[in-house]
Amino acid sequence: MTATQARRRVRIGVLSTEHMHAASYIRLLAKMPGVELIGVWDADPEHAGAAAKLAGTRALPTPEDLLSMVDGVVITSTNVDHRELTERAAAAGADVLCDKPLAITVADAKAIVEACDRAGVRLMTAFPMRFSPVIRSLESSVRSGSLGSVVCLEGVNSSRMPNNLAPWFVDPARSGGGALMDHVVHLADLYRWILRDEVVEVYAVANRILHERFDRVETGGLVMLRFAGGVFATIDCSWSKPRSYPTWGGLSIDAIGTAGVIRADAFRQRLAVYGGPGAGVAWPSWGPDEDQGTLDEFVAAVSQRRPPAVSGVDGLRAVEIVAAAYRSIETGAPVKLAT
C-alpha cells in the first residue's frame, strides 16, 4: 500500500435502514476516524433521508448511485434482500459487510459467497459478538487449555420481540423465520469460532407460545448441536423478554470442561438507571461497543486489502445450521450436516 492509499479515507455507504442495527452502524460510521460516510440508500426515501440527516450525510436515490462512490458498503436490509443487495455491490466492486443472517436460505447464502468470490471483493458477515471482550476472554481460555477438554457449551440468546421496531421480523417471507433465525446464528458462529470445529448434527424444537397472535413464526426454541470433535452444545433462543424489560435482551455462554466451568455474560457490564423515560428501570451498557469492533475490522480489511476476521463462509455455515434446525423441527429428528 502506498503512502497516499494509507492516508485516503475509506469511503463507506449504507444500503437500507430496515434493520434496527442500521441506526447504530450509521451513527458510528459518521464519527469514525479514517472513514468517509458517503451516504445512505433505502427503498423508502423518507427513511433514508431521516437516517442521513441524523448522521450529517446524504440520502442517495438508488443503490447504484451509492455504489459508484464507495470502497465498501454495510447492508442492513430485511434478511430476504441480503442476496440482491450483496450481488449488486459485488458487481460494482464494493466490499461488503452484510448483517446477519447472511441469507434466509442456504442456496442464497452460497450465492452471496460465490458472487463476492467471482468479483474479487471482500465479504464479511456482521457477527458483533466476536468482538465482545467477555466472549473473546472465554475463547482465549478455551484455546489456552485452562478448561481442560471442553465437553459442552450452553448458550442463551434471548430478547424482546423486535416487531415494534421492525415489523418485517414477523413476516417469514422477509425474515426467513422467527426467534431461531434471529438468534441462533450468533451462538452457532461463536461456538464454531471458540472450538475451531464444525457442527455435524442438529436437533431442534420450537413453539409459538409467546406472543401467540404472531403465529406465522416461532417465538422460542431450543437447538442442540453435536460437533465433529465430540463436543455438544445447546442454544436457548427466544423472544421472551417483555416490553418492560430493562434492556433489549442478552447473550451468555457457559463453557464446561474437564478442568472447570466458565460463564461469559456478554451484557453484564451495565448500569441500573431508575426513573427517567417511562419511569421504569433501564440497564444501559457501558464499555467497548461490539458494533464498533465490527466496523473497525471491516474498515481495516477494506483499507489494508486483506480478508476480514469474520468471513462470508462463517455466515454461510451459520445459515446451514439454522436450516438444519428448521428441518429437524419439521421432521422431529436430528439432521446431519456434511463436514
The reported pLDDT for the residue numbered 293 is 97
Task: Write down the architecture of domain 130-288+318-336 according to CATH.
Answer: 2-Layer Sandwich (3.30)
Regarding pTM above 0.75, the answer is yes
Q: Is the pLDDT of residue 213 over 80?
A: no
Q: Which CATH number fits domain 3-129+294-311: 3.40.50.2300, 3.40.50.720, 3.30.930.10, 3.40.1190.20?
A: 3.40.50.720
Q: Percent of the chain scored above 90 by pLDDT?
A: 84
The reported pLDDT for the residue numbered 7 is 57
The reported pLDDT for the residue numbered 108 is 98
Confidence of residue 5 (pLDDT cuts 50, 70, 90): very low
Mean pLDDT of the chain: 94
Task: At 179, give phi and psi (nearest 5°).
Answer: -60, -35
Q: Taking residues 207-216, what's their average pLDDT?
A: 84
- Per-residue model confidence as pLDDT tens digits over 130-180: 999 999 999 999 999 999 999 999 999 999 999 988 999 999 999 999 999
Extents of the domains making up the chain? 3-129+294-311, 130-288+318-336
- Per-residue model confidence as pLDDT tens digits over 30-86: 999 999 999 999 999 999 999 999 999 999 999 999 999 999 999 999 999 999 999
Q: Is 70:95 a contact under the CB 8 Å cutoff?
A: no
Q: Percent of the chain scored above 70 by pLDDT?
A: 96
Look at residues 322, 315, 323, 321 and name the one whose alpha carbon lies nearest to residue 339: 321
Check residue 9 and report its DSSP letter.
P
The reported pLDDT for the residue numbered 322 is 98
Length of the chain in terms of residues written: 339
Task: At 40, give phi and psi (nearest 5°).
Answer: -130, 140
Look at residues 118, 121, 122, 75 and name the one whose alpha carbon lies nearest to residue 100: 75
The reported pLDDT for the residue numbered 268 is 86
Confidence of residue 239 (pLDDT cuts 50, 70, 90): very high
Q: Is the pLDDT of residue 286 over 90?
A: no
* DSSP codes, 146-211: TT-SEEEEEEEEEEE-GGGT-GGGG-HHHHSSSHHHHHHHHHHHHHHHHHT--EEEEEEEEE--TT
The reported pLDDT for the residue numbered 263 is 95
Assess whether the previous peptide bond of 172 is cis (omega < 30° from 0).
no
The reported pLDDT for the residue numbered 287 is 79
The reported pLDDT for the residue numbered 56 is 94
